[in-house]
Amino acid sequence: MRKILFLLLLSFFSSELMAKAVSSWRLNHTYKKVSKNTNINKKALKKAFSYYKKNQKRKKLSTKYLAIADYTKSAKHKRLYIIDLYKGSVFRYKVAHGKRSGVIGGKVKRSSNKRNSKMTPYGFFKVGTKVGKTRKKRYRYLSVQGLQWSNKKVGYPTRKGGRDVIIHPAKYVNRGGRSHGCFAIRPQDKWKVFGKLKKALLYSYTGR
């Protein structure tokens, strides 16, 4: 009986170790595949995967997807990259930048995490899990929360001293328009993006 119990425990711990090894291998494999097959800024991609590896468990990040808003690309391009961490496939969508970050249809020239800056925030964020609705324009949205010291107040309500930045759809994104700093996406992409981004790590890369 003791021998059977020992073998069962050994089998369990071995499978756990193998799962961790496979997970690490999978991330490395996905990173190489995405780096080779997409035009995501290489520095942004490397930083995003490095942060994810270190913080996946501690921050309870999604095991399915990782997203990068590559603002070194212009607003005319689909610069929100959502990466399938298992298959290595990449889904691309348009995303707006802040009014004071750059011209309509252009790239981000300036970024800031400060309140009322109307600029694109930068750094690592965790996307929320529940779809809400804004009070004024009745947008559907997903919340974001800054994960670093530099952006820790981004995503908090303004009444609590934070900067109220969210992910929401807006028609102006189709023509390269700008937000007040929110990660605005095209209305037709709303449910595709929302379905993938819940609990995901979102890296807003502005070249900083």
154: pLDDT confidence band, cut at 50, 70 and 90? very high
Mutual orientation of helices 2-37 and 42-55 as an angle, nearest 10°? 160
Per-residue pLDDT tens over the stretch 30-89: 999 999 999 999 999 999 999 999 999 999 999 999 999 999 999 999 999 999 999 999
pTM: 0.88
Locate 196 and state its tokens. Answer: 């993938």
Indicate the burial class of 108 (C-beta count within 10 angstroms; 0-12, 13-18, 19 or more).
Answer: buried
Concatenated DSSP letters of 101-152: TS-TTS----B--STT--SB--EEEEE-SS-EE-SSS--EEEEEEE-SGGGT
Chain centroid to CA 184: how far?
13
State whether residue 166 is helix, strand or coil.
strand
Q: Which domains does the chain possess? A: 2-205 (2.40.440.10)
Rg from Cα positions in the chain: 19
Locate 205 and state its tokens. Answer: 């890369």
Element (H, E) at 185: strand 183-185
Residue 166 has pLDDT above 80, yes or no: yes
Mean pLDDT for the stretch of residues 138-164 = 93
Least confident of 5-9, 59-63, 161-165, 187-191: 5-9
Burial profile 51-65: b = 16 or more Cβ within 10 angstroms, e = fewer: bbeeebeeeebbebb
